[in-house]
């Protein structure tokens, strides 16, 4: 049965249908493993009262083979209709005219939050001395900023037109090498900032987290990143004054470069992070590397207003290890944990997290992690999935 949105909140049926895209490369291996783990956890937690019906939708190479299209319109429509879905890694087709599938889904459903929780699991090797201090959730703005793709290549008539406009109509004098410059535009809006920061505040309050940090480069880019900071604070003061007054909500801000340094030196200072698109890209990868890398970093793209959410493996298709039973399914499995939490199925989510904690603490992991663990035991993807299932039951 479908999830619906009623009176502003999601209505989750006990037998819920979740559309999924299997994914390319290692997606073919990790998706069934992930589904199996999730099914076992849901079954164990709710004893048959709740269950997931997985509905395969085509995307990526499989879609191209069967339909001649990497992202059939039907797939987008299914994600639109069912509200919540999950996808394995997808290839970005090479060649002119192909859009990135991830970007296409994000834009079509206006999934304005890229949500990335980052925590350390005991047993997993980390470059930090005290990785247990890392526990952050990144809210990365997903639709604006320099990522909007508004750019003109040096030497084209368009770039010359932009240059003329900047000089003649806007009085710009600071372009150092006029003839050899490409140009890009960085739109950052009040609405875009507010919906992102609002989502981060709601998350902070709901989960009773110690602070929300606005990360920006407002010292240099005053009207874009500087406004992000100002609009963020103003929103909090306008809509959450009670929570600010009684200390449930603590908001701070920090310049992006200092933030990256501080995350290594004092990770305990940060809990929920709200940031712009490009900063969010760098930050997500650095934080993921601090706790074990891309094989275990989960993520989701969400529109909290419409309820649309797509949970995903954050790594690529890893063609070098595809088909070898080597891929780490943890990123996709932890994304499913986020999905279960989003559905409010916390008990099932906790069972999976608990199983993963035990597996890693005992040195059981796929090769990418096990090779760096003390006494690590490298398991195949399937065997790792089976280990989790044993630990759940
Ligand atoms: P794509 O072109 O789809 O982005 P890629 O190989 O360029 O693929 P990633 O898939 O992100 O980029 O992989 C980077 C490296 O990390 C590769 O060496 C890959 O084998 C490894 N890797 C990525 N995901 C996993 C995983 N889930 N388990 C184990 N290793 C992984």
**pLDDT at 195 exceeding the cut of 80:** yes
Tell whether the model's pLDDT for residue 172 goes beyond 80: yes
Please identify which residue in the block is written with the tokens 């940090």: 213
328 lines ligand 1 (CB under 6 A): yes
Q: Give the model confidence (pLDDT) of 83-99 as tens digits.
A: 999 999 998 777 655 66
- Pick the range with the lowest mean pLDDT from 7-11, 14-18, 261-265, 270-274: 7-11
Distance, in Å, from the CA atom of 186 to the CA atom of 271, rounded to the nearest integer, reads 27
Q: Where are the alpha helices (DSSP H) in 47-96?
A: 60-67, 73-82
Pair 193, 231: CB distance under 8 Å: yes
The stretches of 252-372 forming alpha helices (DSSP H) are: 256-265, 277-290, 330-343, 346-361, 367-370
In this prediction, residue 97 carries a pLDDT of: 58
Report how far ligand 1's centroid is from the alpha carbon of 328 (Å).
10
Beta bridge partners of 37: none
Please state the φ and ψ torsions of residue 213, each to the nearest 5 degrees. -115, 125
Per-residue pLDDT tens for 106-117? Answer: 888 999 999 999
Residue range 236-243: mean pLDDT, rounded? 98
Q: Is 110 helix (H, G, I), strand (E, B) or coil?
A: coil
Answer for the pair 126, 292: CB distance below 8 angstroms, yes or no. Answer: yes
- Per-residue pLDDT tens digits for 252-265: 999 999 999 999 99
- 200-228 per-position pLDDT tens digit: 999 999 999 999 999 999 999 999 999 99
* pLDDT at site 181: 97
Task: Write out pLDDT tens, residues 256-303.
Answer: 999 999 999 999 999 999 999 999 999 999 999 999 877 899 999 999
Instruction: State the average pLDDT for the chain.
Output: 95
Assess whether the C-beta atom of 91 lies below 6 angstroms from ligand 1. Answer: yes
pLDDT for 149 equals 83
* Burial classification of residue 170, based on how many CB atoms lie within 10 Å of its CB (0-12 exposed, 13-18 middle, 19 or more buried): exposed
pLDDT band at 351 (very low <50, low <70, confident <90, very high): very high
Which has the minimum average pLDDT: 7-11, 205-209, 239-243? 7-11
Is the C-beta atom of 294 inside 6 A of ligand 1?
Answer: yes
Say what percent of the chain tops pLDDT 70: 99
12 Cα: distance to centroid of ligand 1 (angstroms) = 34
Q: Give pLDDT tens digits for 45-65.
A: 999 999 999 999 999 999 999
How far apart (Å, rounded) are the C-alpha atoms in residues 361 and 271?
A: 24
**123 CB less than 6 Å from ligand 1?**
no
Compute, in angstroms, the gap from residue 55 CA to the centroid of ligand 1. 26
Percent of the chain with pLDDT over 90: 91
Residue 38 has pLDDT above 70, yes or no: yes
Probe ligand 1: pick from 101, 124, 294, max atoms within 8 Å of CB?
Answer: 294
**CA 47/CA 18 separation, integer angstroms:** 19
Q: How high is the pLDDT of residue 268?
A: 97
């Amino acid at each position: 049965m479908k999830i619906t949105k009623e009176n502003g909140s999601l209505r989750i049926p006990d037998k819920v249908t979740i559309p999924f895209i299997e994914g390319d490369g290692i997606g073919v291996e990790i998706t069934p493993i992930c589904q199996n783990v999730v099914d076992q956890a849901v079954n164990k937690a709710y004893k048959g009262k709740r269950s997931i019906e997985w509905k395969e939708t085509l995307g990526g190479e499989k879609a191209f083979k069967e339909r001649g299209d990497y992202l059939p319109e039907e797939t987008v429509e299914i994600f639109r209709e069912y509200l919540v879905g999950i996808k394995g890694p997808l290839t970005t087709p090479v060649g002119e005219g192909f859009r990135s599938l991830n970007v296409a889904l994000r834009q079509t459903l206006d999934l304005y939050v890229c949500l990335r929780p980052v925590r350390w699991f005991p047993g997993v090797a980390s470059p930090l001395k005290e990785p247990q201090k890392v526990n952050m959730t990144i809210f990365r703005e997903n639709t604006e900023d320099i990522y909007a793709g508004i750019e003109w290549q040096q030497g084209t008539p368009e770039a010359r037109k932009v240059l003329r406009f900047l000089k003649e109509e806007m009085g710009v004098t600071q372009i150092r090498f006029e003839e050899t410059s490409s140009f890009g535009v960085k739109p950052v809006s009040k609405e875009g900032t507010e919906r992102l920061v609002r989502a981060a505040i709601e998350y902070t309050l709901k989960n009773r987290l110690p602070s929300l940090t606005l990360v920006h480069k407002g010292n240099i880019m005053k009207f874009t990143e500087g406004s992000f900071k100002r609009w963020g604070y103003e929103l909090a003061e306008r809509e959450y004054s009670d929570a600010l007054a009684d200390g449930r909500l603590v908001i701070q801000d920090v310049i992006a470069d200092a933030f990256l340094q501080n995350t290594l030196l004092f990770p305990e200072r940060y809990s929920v992070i709200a940031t712009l698109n490009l900063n969010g890209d760098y930050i997500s990868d650095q934080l993921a590397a601090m706790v074990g890398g891309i094989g275990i970093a989960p993520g989701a793209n969400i529109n909290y207003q419409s309820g649309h959410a797509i949970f995903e493996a954050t790594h690529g298709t890893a063609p070098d290890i595809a088909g070898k039973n080597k891929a780490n399914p943890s990123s996709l499995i932890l994304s499913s944990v986020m999905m279960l939490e989003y559905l409010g199925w916390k008990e099932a989510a906790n069972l999976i997290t608990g199983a993963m904690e035990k597996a890693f603490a005992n040195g059981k992991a796929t090769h990418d992690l096990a090779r760096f663990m003390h006494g690590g035991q490298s398991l195949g993807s399937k065997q790792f999935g089976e280990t989790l299932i044993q630990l759940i039951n």
